[in-house]
Amino acid sequence: QNHYALTGWLHVIAGVMWVGLLYYFNFVQVPGMGQALADTDGPGPAAIGKYIAPRALLWFRMAAATTWILGMLLLALQSRGMDGIIGAFTFATGYVVIGLGAWMGTIMAFNVWFIIWPNQQKILGMKEASAEEIATAKKNAALASSINVILSIPMLLAMIAWH
């Protein structure tokens, strides 16, 4: 029981970090970068792109992975094995609400690791990319990030409703 409670608290803490950074990117950094690019007399976005964004993206990825892994661990601890994980992802009786949350969290984690992160590497110059590839990367990262913002509230509600 103590393991379950500790894991639950760590899951919540990691989730707060993840969603907090998601909101930071969508509501602060991305609009700020756009403003910095448009302001020809200003300092420009270089410091954000070089120092802030890579660090924030590292914490973002680690928080996403930690939240997802701890969520799977909670499902396993709750049911003493794989039954909770399988039950959640197949919407078995008693697992429908948490199953919705687990699927949304999985989609969000997938978006972070396989869409947002690879595209951000191009946008920030961490990976070689043409101007056209960078423009496409911005659109793809923005779409995946917007989807994550939309999914974040129902995912959090499903998580809360389960407990």
Closest CA to 108 of 27, 18, 30, 24: 18
Which residue type, as a one-letter code, is found at position 114?
A: F
Look at residue 163 in the predicted model and tell me its pLDDT: 61
Alpha helices in the chain (DSSP H): 2-24, 30-38, 46-47, 53-79, 83-89, 96-111, 117-123, 131-162
Contact 36, 48 (CB under 8 A): yes
Phi-psi region of 81 (alpha: psi -120 to 50; beta: other; left: phi over 0): left
Q: Two tokens at 57?
A: 């993206």
Give the DSSP H or E segment for 26: none
Percentage of the chain beyond pLDDT 90 is 87
Distance of CA 33 to the CA centre of its chain: 20
Instruction: Name which residue leads in pLDDT, 81 or 142.
Output: 142
d(CA 52, CA 21): 12
Assess whether pLDDT exceeds 80 at residue 63.
yes
Per-residue pLDDT reduced to its tens digit, 98-150: 999 999 999 999 999 999 999 999 999 999 999 999 999 999 999 999 999 99
**pLDDT at residue 160 above 80?**
yes
pLDDT at 159 over 90: no
C-alpha 71/C-alpha 59 separation (Å) is: 18
pTM for the model: 0.93
The 10 Å Cβ neighbour count of residue 77 is 17
Q: Is the pLDDT of residue 156 over 70?
A: yes
